[in-house]
Amino acid sequence: MTLDLVQAGSAAELVDIDPCNGLRTRLMEMGLTPGTHLSVVRHAPLGDPIEIKVRGYRLSIRKQEAALIRCRPL
């Protein structure tokens, strides 16, 4: 499952980030590393961006970036 498919209010554990482009390093620098627990706070009215809570802070990412993040539900 990818992060863009996780429903608002649900929690997940990050498994991996697709290494196909340069976003992987940037996302990992923001605290999105394998094994990290995160929760989806909400989706914007049109679905983009997605607000997540990770490591005690809130982060908004684009839906296309969230599609690169593989996770498993908790």
Domains of the chain: which residue ranges? 3-73
Owner of token pair 């554990």: 13
pLDDT in tens, 32-73: 899 999 999 999 988 789 999 999 999 999 998 899 999 999
* pTM score, whole prediction: 0.84
Class of domain 3-73: mainly beta
The residue type found at 40 is V
The amino acid sitting at 6 is V
4 touches 63 (CB < 8 A): yes
CB 66 within 8 A of CB 50: yes
Residue-wise over 28-63: b if at least 16 C-beta within 10 A, else e?
eeeebeeeeebbbeebeeeeebbebebeeeebebeb
